[in-house]
């Protein structure tokens, strides 16, 4: 009798995400065990408890998922889990805090696809404004786009303090140079948009960050991706199901809505969960792996 697929879900928060539980079940994991309010110092012991109980064959049917809300803590916990392995007792680990890595990957991959389709261009050299870049999805998308060669700027909601802080962490931890700017007024938004090729909308749900009046200043704008699915939509003129639809009133710019991006996120997360099922060698999956998977899916 083959051993069941067991996924241990670790999160520093009070609860694991029901979304992640459903995704893992649908991907083929038989048993999913939650561990909540986990501190980084506890990761090593939990991982080693999981790996030594099943033998070298059974351990291949064991996995670890790291959730939470903080992308930097998730990356730290991923590294701690990896360091805790004792080959041949080694399992796959997948970090996706608040779904931020797979959502960000879907956003950037969808935008990249439209750049190629509409403009025969790549992400390299594009000026990207990230509204909501201080949050987990926006920060992850900023790093992914910067690593792909874009000139990224995180736009703060009122001032640039939080944006500068996140940009500094991105440089220190992930080796990317990211700008920061304040976007608290109509005038500052319009000034920033005059140089924008791409806009990512990753702010809180139900907040419209850019109106049609703001977008009139974006004369070189190519692609807009909006993650807000709760009315009012985050960027006026970009509807939920849009996937390369021209934005009204703009010359050539196209929009990608939250549900179009969410479909890619869904496929990427499920595929990565499936990749962890009895792999040839252990996998350690983060936002970069999610982006590679998203690129494959949208191609």
Q: Is the residue at 15 inside a domain?
A: yes
Cβ partners under 8 Å of residue 298, min gap 6: 109, 110, 112, 113, 264
Q: Is the residue at 132 inside a domain?
A: yes
pLDDT value of position 1? 67
Peptide bond into 153 cis (omega under 30): no
Number of domains in the chain: 2
Q: Are residues 30 and 171 in the same domain?
A: no
pLDDT value of position 58? 83
Q: Are residues 50 and 172 in the same domain?
A: no
Q: Are residues 191 and 121 in the same domain?
A: yes
* More reliable by pLDDT, 265 or 157: 265
Strands 254-256 and 223-226: parallel
How many CB atoms neighbour CB 48 within 10 A?
15
Q: Are residues 158 and 201 in the same domain?
A: yes
Contact 285, 275 (CB under 8 A): yes
pLDDT in tens, 237-268: 999 999 999 999 998 999 999 999 999 999 99
Q: Are residues 200 and 92 in the same domain?
A: no
pLDDT value of position 278? 85
At 157, is the pLDDT very low, low, confident or very high (cuts 50, 70, 90)? confident
At 199, is the pLDDT very low, low, confident or very high (cuts 50, 70, 90)? very high
Q: Is the residue at 200 inside a domain?
A: yes
Please give the mean pLDDT across all residues of the chain: 96
Q: Are residues 140 and 75 in the same domain?
A: no
Q: Are residues 188 and 89 in the same domain?
A: no
Q: Are residues 112 and 253 in the same domain?
A: yes
Q: Is the residue at 134 inside a domain?
A: yes
Q: Are residues 112 and 222 in the same domain?
A: yes
Region of residue 36 (phi > 0: left; psi between -120 and 50: alpha; otherwise: beta): beta
pLDDT value of position 205? 86
pLDDT at 49 over 90: yes
Domain boundaries, position 239 = 104-261
Q: Are residues 165 and 191 in the same domain?
A: yes
Q: Is the residue at 125 inside a domain?
A: yes
The CATH number of residue 209's host domain is 3.40.50.720
Contact 138, 208 (CB under 8 A): no
Cβ partners under 8 Å of residue 205, min gap 6: 228, 229, 230
Q: Is the residue at 1 inside a domain?
A: no
pLDDT value of position 202? 96
């Amino acid at each position: 009798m083959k051993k069941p697929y067991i996924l241990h879900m670790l999160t520093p928060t009070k609860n694991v995400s029901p979304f992640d539980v459903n995704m893992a079940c649908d991907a083929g994991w038989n048993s999913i065990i939650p561990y909540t309010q986990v501190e980084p110092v506890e990761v090593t012991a939990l991982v080693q408890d999981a790996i030594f109980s099943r033998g070298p064959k059974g351990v291949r049917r064991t996995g670890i998922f790291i959730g939470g809300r903080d992308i930097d803590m998730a990356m730290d916990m991923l590294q701690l889990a990896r360091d805790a392995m004792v080959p041949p007792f080694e399992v796959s680990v997948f970090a996706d805090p608040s779904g931020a890595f797979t959502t960000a990957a879907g956003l950037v991959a969808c935008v990249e696809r439209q750049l190629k389709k509409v403009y025969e261009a790549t992400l390299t050299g594009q000026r990207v404004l990230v509204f909501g870049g201080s949050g987990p999805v926006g920060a992850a998308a900023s790093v992914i786009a910067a690593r792909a060669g874009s000139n990224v700027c995180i736009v703060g909601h009122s001032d640039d303090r939080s944006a500068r802080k996140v940009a500094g962490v991105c440089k220190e931890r992930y080796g990317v140079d990211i700008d920061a700017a304040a976007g608290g007024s109509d005038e500052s938004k319009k000034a920033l948009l005059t140089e924008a090729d791409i806009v990512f909308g990753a702010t809180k749900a139900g907040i419209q960050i850019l109106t049609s009046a703001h977008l009139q200043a974006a004369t070189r704008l190519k692609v807009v991706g909006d993650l807000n699915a709760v009315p009012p939509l985050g960027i006026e003129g970009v509807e939920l199901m849009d996937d390369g639809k021209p934005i009204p009133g703009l010359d050539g710019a196209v929009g990608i809505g939250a549900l179009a991006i969410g479909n890619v996120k869904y496929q990427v997360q499920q595929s990565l969960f499936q990749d962890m099922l009895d792999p040839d060698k252990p996998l350690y999956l983060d936002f970069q792996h999610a982006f590679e998977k998203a690129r494959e899916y949208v191609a």
